[in-house]
Structure formats: C-alpha cells, structure tokens
C-alpha cells in the first residue's frame, strides 16, 4: 500500500531523504551516487539539513580576486550570455557561472515575480561551494569536476527543496576545472533536458576559453560536417610550434577515440595523432576548410588558425623566398633551406642592414642578422635574443600567407 502513496519520483526522494537523515537508511536507487556522496560529505561537516540556508557572498577582496583571476573565463561567458539569456527568456530558468571554487562570477537577469531565492543567490561573490550551501548542482561539480543535476528534495537543505538545478564543468587548456555553468529553476521542475542544454553552453564557453588561452598554438578545428566547425560540437586541439598536441577538448577526444585531455599518454606529436604534419595543418589556415582522414578511418573537415600573444589569429609566412617550403621543420624550425638544398633552390640573400628608421625597424634588423648568424634556425635565434619564436615570426613578416 505504501507504493500508492509514494508513486512519483518527488515522493520517493522525500521518503528516501527522511529515512536517511532520521534513520540512517541508505537512499540506494532513489538518488544518484553523486547526490548521496554530497549528503554524506555535508553530514561529516556537521551541517544541519533543517537549518535555514542563507546564500552569503565571500569577502569583497576575494570576490574581486575571483573576477580578476577568471577574466578569460568571464569574457568567454559574456560572449554567450545574451544568447543564453534569450534562449531561457520565456522559460522559468536562469543561468550562472562560478569559478572553480564555486564563487559566482556571472549570472543572467532575474525577472520572475515568484522568485525569492534566485535574486539573492545570483549575486557576484556568492559562495556555492558544498561547505557553504550544502548539496547543489554547482557545488557538486566544483567538488567532483563532473556534470550533476539536483532536483527538489535532493538538495541538502530543506529550505531550498523547491529549487531545481543542473550544472556542467568548464575546463582549461591544462585539463583543470576552470569554472562551472549552472542552470536553475525556482519552484518549477524543468520541462526540458536541462542537463543537455547546460552541457551545450558549457562546451561553447569552454571552446572560447581554450582558444583565448592558446597563445602561439596552432588551433585545429575538425568535425565530420563543416557546419559544425563553429559550433559547441567542434573538435578542437592546440598544437605548439614543435608539432606537439598540448590540449584537446572532449569532442576531439571522442572523435579520435582516445582518453580525455587528462590522459597524458595520448598527448603527443600531431603527426602521430592525426597522421598530418604541422606544416600540412598550417597550410589549412586561410579560412576555408579541407578534408583530413583520421587514423581511425573517419573523414573530417578541418580548419586551422594560429593565435599569437598579441591575440592575432592568422598564420604568417617567414622568409619570402621560401613560401613553398614548410613553415616549421621540427625540431630545427629553419626559415632558410639547408646548404645542400641551396644548390637546386636559389636562395634569396638577406639584405645588408641599413640605418633603421624606427625602434621597430631596429628590432627587425637585429632579428634578421641573428637569424643569418644561426643559419635560419628560429629556436637558436630565439634563445640567443631571449625572446619567443612567435615574436620572431611576427617581426620578420607582416603579410599573411596566401
């Protein structure tokens, strides 16, 4: 007869909650393992599920530090927030962004008259860590780094058991948790797949963040359809100037059939992973896409771009007479042909330095002379001048390759 009174999921969660907190009976099969583990952690912290929950901000200095440290993450969020706000505008949902520790650094507008908690909770600096507010979706993600959903009475605190939230992680180029995107509804259960929607926008923000963090990386975009290259579903990877893949997003890992970015054993030379050299990939940087056969047999569309320290995202040629030689010949990174190759390929002589017209001209003149002394070896010249290879590339040629 008891099943008749507890026929809905909400009723079953309420019963499981009561039995766990009052009698210690495990809520197996009723709530997710992530929610149960969060409940257990909150009890170990001596939190009281019956206590009135208050969403308190951290100190002003910590909130300001969170905004400053996560500037690139916030910029990526701001690029999507208007669209996200418009998508959610006619629903009962709002969205927010936290830093890796759970401190709120961005939120959509709150404009629903029935909301009491949301306007208070969605303030810059409010702490959503488990230690501060108990079991919530953003708190679980900040703790575990994995997507989470918390519905109604699954929240640890009884005072917010009418909230519903779903959250997804955002990772940086090192594979570390960079932030958490959360979508929540007050008093009304989701009537769509909130986990999928928040996951899609988290991927979009993550992709923007990965690109913005990739200075002097060749950014490779690929997918089975060209229409997906500029969407959250794009596969992205960053390749350094030695031809080594230094990061990839989750979509790239899935399409390549390799472990996620955290698996260092699968981060290696790009010619081994994509069976395409750095110079071949660099030739696909003119804005149009090309075709590439992956090692697993999939034929994908690919497009590449180079992002330098100054934010410029175009690949430059270095050494005008060698336009049809590889830009980078790892590991030597030479800009002029080897001596043996000069017998068949006429080399363009390096002009003798003249009186520089400006400080920038003097920089270019010094780089040109150092490159000549190093036999065209960019790495050796960079070490000698104590600058980056990217600076040498940008100083020695200002015209994009055709």
| pLDDT (tens digit per residue) in 167-215 | 999 999 999 999 999 999 999 999 999 999 999 999 999 999 999 999 8
Please report which confidence band the pLDDT of residue 310 belongs to, taking 50, 70 and 90 as the band edges. Answer: low
Q: Lowest-pLDDT range, 41-45, 59-63, 286-290?
A: 286-290
Q: Is the pLDDT of residue 390 over 50?
A: yes
Q: Are residues 63 and 185 in the same domain?
A: yes
CA distances from 43 to 30, 96, 234, 246, 260 (A): 19, 26, 41, 40, 33
Together in a domain, 220 and 116 = no
397 confidence band (pLDDT: 50, 70, 90): low
Q: What is the pLDDT, as a whole number, of residue 374?
A: 84
Q: Where a domain ends, among 187, 210, 233?
A: 210
Q: Do 204 and 68 lie in a common domain?
A: yes
Residue 10's pLDDT band (cuts 50, 70, 90): confident
Average pLDDT over residues 229-247: 93
Question: What pLDDT sits at residue 356?
Answer: 42
Do 239 and 195 fall within a single domain? no
pLDDT of residue 371: 83
53 & 184 share domain: yes
What pLDDT is attached to residue 84?
94
Residue 244 has pLDDT above 60, yes or no: yes
Mean pLDDT, the chain, rounded, equals: 82
Q: Which of 182, 210, 238 represents a domain boundary (last residue)?
A: 210
The answer to whether position 3 is within a domain reads no
Q: Would you say residue 131 has pLDDT above 90?
A: yes
Provide the residue range defining the domain that includes 223: 214-307
Same domain, residue pair 271 and 335: no
Averaged pLDDT for residues 121-127: 96
Rounded average pLDDT over 144-148: 97
Identify the pLDDT of residue 111. 66
Q: Are residues 205 and 219 in the same domain?
A: no
Using pLDDT thresholds of 50, 70 and 90, give the confidence band for residue 287: low
Q: Identify whether residues 38 and 135 lie together within a single domain.
A: yes
How does residue 6 score in pLDDT terms, banded at 50, 70 and 90? low
Residue 361: per-residue pLDDT: 58
Q: In CATH, what number is assigned to the domain containing residue 180?
A: 3.30.450.40
Pair 156, 115 in one domain: yes
Number of domains comprising the chain: 3
| pLDDT surpasses 60 at 349 | no
- Give the pLDDT of residue 352: 43
pLDDT digit string, tens, across residues 53-98: 999 999 999 999 999 999 999 999 999 999 999 999 888 899 999 9
- What pLDDT, on the 0 to 100 scale, is given for residue 316? 35
Question: What's the pLDDT tens digit per position in 16-36?
Answer: 999 999 999 999 889 999 999
Residue 277 confidence (pLDDT): 84
Boundary (domain end) residue, out of 155, 186, 210: 210
**Claim to verify: residue 116 and residue 197 sit in the same structural domain:** yes
Question: Is 82 a member of any domain?
Answer: yes
Q: Where is average pLDDT lowest: 62-71, 96-105, 372-381, 390-399?
A: 390-399
**CA 61/CA 104 separation, integer angstroms:** 14
Q: Which residue has the higher pLDDT, 330 or 199?
A: 199
């Amino acid at each position: 007869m008891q099943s008749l009174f507890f026929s809905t999921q909400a009723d079953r969660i309420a019963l499981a909650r009561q039995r766990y907190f009052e009698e210690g009976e495990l809520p197996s099969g009723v709530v997710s393992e992530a929610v149960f583990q969060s409940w257990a952690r909150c009890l170990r912290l001596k939190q009281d599920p019956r206590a009135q929950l208050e969403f308190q901000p951290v100190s002003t200095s910590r909130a300001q530090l969170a905004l400053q440290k996560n500037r690139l993450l916030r910029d990526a969020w701001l690029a999507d927030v208007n669209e996200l706000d418009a998508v959610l505008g006619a629903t009962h949902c709002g969205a927010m962004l936290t830093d890796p520790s759970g401190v709120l650094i961005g939120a959509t507008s709150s404009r629903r008259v029935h909301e009491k908690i949301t306007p208070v909770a969605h303030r810059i600096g409010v702490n959503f860590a488990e230690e501060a507010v108990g079991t919530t979706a953003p708190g679980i993600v900040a703790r575990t780094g994995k997507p989470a959903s918390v519905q109604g009475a699954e929240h640890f605190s009884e005072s917010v058991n009418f909230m519903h939230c779903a959250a997804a992680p955002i990772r940086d180029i090192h594979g570390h948790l960079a932030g958490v995107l959360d979508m929540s509804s007050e008093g009304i259960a989701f009537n769509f797949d909130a986990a999928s929607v928040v996951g899609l926008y988290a991927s979009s923000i993550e992709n923007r963040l990965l690109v913005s963090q990739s200075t002097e990386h060749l950014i490779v975009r690929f997918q089975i359809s060209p229409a997906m290259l500029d969407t959250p579903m794009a596969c992205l990877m960053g390749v350094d100037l030695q031809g080594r893949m230094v990061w990839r997003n989750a979509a790239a890992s899935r399409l390549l059939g390799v472990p996620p970015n955290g698996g260092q054993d699968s981060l290696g030379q790009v010619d081994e992973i994509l069976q395409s050299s750095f110079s071949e990939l660099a030739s696909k940087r003119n804005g149009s896409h090309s075709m590439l056969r992956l090692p697993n047999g999939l034929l994908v569309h690919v497009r590449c771009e180079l992002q330098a320290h100054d934010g410029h995202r175009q690949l430059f040629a270095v050494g005008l007479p060698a336009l049809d030689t590889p830009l980078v010949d790892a590991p030597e990174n030479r800009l002029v042909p080897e001596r043996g190759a000069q017998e068949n390929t006429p080399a363009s002589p390096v002009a003798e330095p003249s009186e520089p017209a400006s400080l920038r001209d003097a920089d270019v003149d010094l780089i040109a002379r150092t490159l000549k002394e190093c036999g065209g070896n960019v790495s050796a010249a960079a070490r000698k001048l104590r600058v980056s290879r990217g600076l040498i590339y940008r100083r020695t040629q200002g015209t994009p390759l055709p």
